[in-house]
Structure 1
């Protein structure tokens, strides 16, 4: 992050400028949205229930994200800080709009207030109708382990004590949502040969002259001028990047899952263990492995060879009680070692704390056909990580260890 980039933010800027600059920044860092990838009907059919789960849960998580901060003020008998009032009112506006209230009252005035009880107008249910019509069957939300982990991590950011972090996560979610919805709309129309205007959820969010995401982006971006002092511009941008990457990571993870579901035969079960055998595990991965060799201090010393997988691909068969955890530097990665022999068979990496990095050297070689090894400059982790752009099939966070 350069000082010139940070200095581009000023409380005097209109929110549209914030939106435009941050959207441009995200696209430069992360490239085209993964949902713009060409997908089969089967893949989209697996993706839509996951998206429905997010669409259903998010507004309520956003609206309730300030509760612990409010209870903390109550507990300490303190006046509610203005930053909590600001993030709360914008969070509740987003929930009000996502549940159909804003649009109904805007169109019908006070007489339309009873219509807020019509849950079929909730935006998630507009999406449910669109998706069910496309697939020719009713769908329900699928709160998979991947989506639940994502929503928990998102909530952690939205409910952070630091108002700059809360602001960054709110802005990043909405600006990512605009690109995500547009990409999924385009892909869905192409995959099912559908008419764009027939998909009410997408049209109301990013289409026409008055899309909902324009308001969401503008209202969250207004918080920047209110909550981000000039001295913390750089910190805000770092947190924005982190939050945007979290949202994008979920999309990449979903695409990887639906692709694996379609090509399940390409994955097999590998078994592994630590040196003494106290810790035994199995992991689902292809026969032909793609591994990462990192030159950071701990990987150099331990000789760890990374196989990065989603969290639900690893099963610990025995010995979890023998695992001890070591953390250092930013205390994000959770390095787990066998306390008997000292070997690290797997751990939760800093780049993807919801997943695992498996030590290829601990796997049974009989199930491995080949190993492709990529190098990562972990000695200069921040620079190397920041310079990488995720491709459409594999997100940066899944490619980088530490």
Structure 2
């Protein structure tokens, strides 16, 4: 990012926000605008009086997975605290390597009573199982660790169906009957998410792998990666 700012600065001339050349200012504005959409940052007024430019680039940081590590508080990226804040940001983001390269998907059931968010790749690896229940309800799903899944609402509107070994927890909405996620027998420490229950805009590609659930024990034993998909 610093290199990008440097290249932009070399192309610009004159003075922009904080004494930067206009092109460098433009690069900073673009970066913080992108950060605000990806990390959930909010713009607020600068308390140190750094001018109108500082107001545009002043954020308080509050994200779903960094909140406990970096409590939300205001900073000004153009003022005297710029260096300290920037180094803190980098160190905190490095602690969240589990989320690197992932995007936040949101989704839910048909009636909207159940809503969730999940961090996963934009390129999904989806299983198409032919076991008795997956065939009847068309249970195509991708697997994520439990730590990357968050139920936003609807816990009291979920009910669970189990059968046979009763290890898989087939959760679905009491109102509309849609199963948007469940706990697979193969990955009891994670969740199976229905890609067709995700909101539009965050999935780039879907690769589907058939799995022989009719011979579940053999299929899972021979599969080289499915057990690891629920590990952070």
Q: 1:336 offset after TM fit, Å?
A: 0.3
Q: Which residue of 1 aligns with 2:177?
A: 342
1:381 to 188, 211, 216: 216
TM-score, normalization by structure 2: 0.55
Q: Which residue of 2 aligns with 1:396?
A: 226
Q: Is the 8 A contact 2:141 2:192 kept in 1?
A: yes
Q: Which structure exhibits the higher relative contact order, with contacts defined as CA atoms closer than 8 Å and separated by 6 or more residues? A: 1
**Deviant stretches of 4+, over 6 Å:** none
Q: Which residue of 2 aligns with 1:323?
A: 158
Q: Which residue of 2 aligns with 1:56?
A: none
Aligned residue runs from structure 1 range 161-176, under 5 A: none
Aligned pair in 2 of structure 1 residues 279, 293: CA closer, same or farther (>3 Å)?
same
TM-score, normalization by structure 1: 0.32
Aligned residue runs from structure 1 range 271-290, under 5 A: 271-290=106-125
Q: 1:386 offset after TM fit, Å?
A: 2.1
Greater helix fraction, Structure 1 or Structure 2: 1
Does the alignment pair 1:296 with 2:131?
yes
Aligned residue runs from structure 1 range 87-236, under 5 A: none
Q: 1:387 offset after TM fit, Å?
A: 2.3
Aligned pair in 2 of structure 1 residues 295, 398: CA closer, same or farther (>3 Å)?
farther
Q: Is the 8 A contact 1:308 1:355 kept in 2?
A: yes
Whole-Å separation in 2 of the counterparts to 1:281 and 1:260: 24
Q: CA offsets, 1:132-164, max 9 Å, x none?
A: xxxxxxxxxxxxxxxxxxxxxxxxxxxxxxxxx
Query: What CA RMSD, in Å, does the superposition of the two structures yield over aligned residues?
Result: 2.1
Aligned pair in 2 of structure 1 residues 264, 313: CA closer, same or farther (>3 Å)?
closer
Aligned residue runs from structure 1 range 28-39, under 5 A: none
Whole-Å separation in 2 of the counterparts to 1:320 and 1:283: 16
2:188 to 337, 353, 374: 353
2:199 to 348, 361, 364: 364
Aligned pair in 2 of structure 1 residues 340, 396: CA closer, same or farther (>3 Å)?
same
Q: CA offsets, 1:187-234, max 9 Å, x none?
A: xxxxxxxxxxxxxxxxxxxxxxxxxxxxxxxxxxxxxxxxxxxxxxxx
Consecutive unaligned residues of structure 1, counting only runs of 5 or more, are: 1-258
Whole-Å separation in 2 of the counterparts to 1:281 and 1:321: 14
Aligned pair in 2 of structure 1 residues 320, 377: CA closer, same or farther (>3 Å)?
same
Whole-Å separation in 2 of the counterparts to 1:278 and 1:261: 30
Whole-Å separation in 2 of the counterparts to 1:396 and 1:314: 17
Aligned pair in 2 of structure 1 residues 263, 319: CA closer, same or farther (>3 Å)?
closer
